[in-house]
Copies of this chain bind each other. A is one copy, B any other.
Amino acid sequence: MQVTFIWHEQIDGRWSQRQKQVATGGDMTVLRLAREHDIKIDATCGGRGRCGRCKVVVQGPLNEVSDLEAQLLTKEELARGIRLACYARPLGDIQVSIPTGETELLQILTEGFEQAVAVEPDVAKEFVTVDQPVLETPDGDRERLLAALKRSGGQDCQIPLGIMNSLPEVLRKGNHQVTVTRWHNHIVAVESGDTTDELFGLAFDIGTTTVVGGLIDLHQGKELAVAARLNGQAAYGADVISRVEYASNGTSQLKRLQQAVVDTLNGVVAELHDKTGICPKKICRVVLVGNTCMQHLALGVSPTYIARSPYTPAFSHRFDVTAGQLGLAVNPEAPVTFLPNVAGFVGADTVGVVVATGLASRNGRVLMVDIGTNGEIVMSHDGRMVSCSTAAGPALEGAQISCGMRAGEGAIEFVEIGEDIEVRVIGQTRPRGVCGSGLIDLVAELLKVGIIDETGRLQDTSELEGLSPKLLERIRAGEAGNEFVVVWGKDAAHGSDVVLTQRDIRELQLAKGAIRAGTMILQKILGIKDEDIDELLLAGAFGNYIRKESAMQMGLLPQVSLDKVRSVGNAARVGARLCLISQTKLEEASRLAKAMGYVELSGRPDFQEAFMDAMLFPRITREFAR
């Protein structure tokens, strides 16, 4: 019999569906079968039927539901075909969908970064018994509910209109026993009966390119599911600046951008609903990170002046709204917090990374580089932090590069050059282009063998000695200078050559120069030399997939020994999640953002020089290589 596993996996910052079919005799549980084929299913108890976390959605014939499953799964879950992988055993061909939980990203992060974060969200539920109304006292439903809350020791509360509308029915349906969800002195929900066992929140990272959201159980602090969508604003410009320009055309354009990202967020919410079966109306707390512009656009606040000197955002501290105001399809009274920004181009996403990595409380000299469409950099010396932002542009992600493409099927993600060039392609199909990590590999390797010199020039074959003919024949004259054929197009039917041009290299030099110059300035301010750096953290999805060696080779990063470099994945979203489950972390985020220094690079006379310097590739590269 055949078992088809379906799951989601993040590749270069983008979630995509994966599928694998395996044969089995029916003697193994779904969990063991998955492990045999290297397919991840979360099971913290090790498959002993205790944690109830290895939930999968199964279509097809299975063994009967065990007592333990009946105990650990709700009726709704069983009705939806959810089973525990550690008990389910196929009786024929089946399809197994694996919900995406807290997987790779957190595993990377927790390695050495684990923080003892107590689960203490700023929303809480309380089950209260409200006085029945009597003829003698004409107190309203609201007044009796507030009195009951006050009796149980609460502060004075406000009940928003959206809840008042149905309060009479909710009270009577529960025979005057209700569960109240509170956020400080705001009442977020009133539900009939006792629902205190459920408390859900959302943590979002609104990236310029991708929006990722996690549904969090706020009692346990656990991530129940993750979903991601491409930011719907992409249609209005790939990078931040082009979207700011679009939004600055007028209110309707600004509203359009806002609607686009809210639609994206709601798409994520719908997907989380599909994955978990948890009704979005039960979500009563949301924390978002995103760069400063993304936050402005999501709120419909004009970002115009972020893009003009002196680059002033409309707001920098934390911003609270309700889900209803934002148009988010969860409980409309749910408080939604946008984490604080540091400056126009150092946003809450960077603050999220700082929170997630505990940067403020780490000893030593730690450099954090978050390479995305923009590059944000934080340099910390025993918790004293300075930040800056560089307009890296999307070149490092493969955009604006003739052979560049997003990480997806057909993208070269790994390059090595020996006698000839060797590549690894996503999806193991015919290569169609090169994605970000592949590009950095490619340039690093070409630098190693001397095909590119330290100025970034693609050498003529005549200038190159001792290279294999196979490599030499890949170098040819292009439109502006030489070009290097990465993959030969087989014939017209199979598409043309995949080529790296001189102009592509110049784009990459601009991008890597900007980032390197940023780190140089921050190091200069704090008086920290390359060799003094104790730790170098690479954040963002890009940081996960880049080969550290290659990044170092091409001079994107300061010259530190490789064992000091560490990828921290999508730490921004982890930061959002920590602030969602912990009030202490949420307050810390505000303190950090205020305390963090900020350097506006365009205001520094030494930036241009550093930038010119940093655009060059390291001279030592060739010596390294041989």
Contact = CB atoms under 8 A, between A and B. Distances in A.
B141 A313 contact: yes
Contact of A299 (B161, B172, B346): B161
Interface stretch (A300-308, A354-362, A527-535): A300-308
B299 A138 contact: no
A165 interface: yes
Contacts of A142: 314-317
A166 B302 contact: yes
Given A168-B305, A312-B133, A600-B135, A140 B317 contact: yes
A143 B603 contact: no
Interface of A is mostly: loop
A189 to B, nearest CB: 16
Nearest to A299: B161
Interface string A505-532: 0000000000000000000000000000
Interface in A298-354: 299-302, 304-305, 309-317, 319, 321, 325, 341-344, 346
Nearest to A303: B168
Contact of A140 (B139, B165, B166, B315): B315
Nearest to A134: B310
A312 B304 CA distance: 51
A321 B142 CA distance: 15
Contacts of A117: none
A191 to B, nearest CB: 17
A167 interface: yes
Contacts of A609: none
Contacts of A166: 302
A265 to B, nearest CB: 16
A343 B313 contact: no
A389 to B, nearest CB: 10
A465 interface: no
A165 B135 contact: no
A598 interface: yes
Nearest to A324: B325
Interface string A560-578: 0000000000000000000
A136 interface: yes
A164 interface: yes
Contact of A161 (B321, B598, B600): B321
A344 B138 contact: yes
A164 B600 contact: no
A169 B311 contact: no
Contact of A600 (B138, B299, B309, B316): B138
Contacts of A140: 312-317, 341
A135 B310 contact: yes
Contacts of A133: 305, 310, 312
A603 B603 CA distance: 78
Contacts of A603: 135-136
Contacts of A134: 310
9 contacts: A140-B313, A141-B313, A141-B315, A143-B315, A161-B300, A164-B315, A165-B300, A167-B301, A168-B301
- CB-CB nearest 6 A-B residue pairs: A138-B343, A140-B316, A133-B312, A142-B315, A135-B310, A140-B315
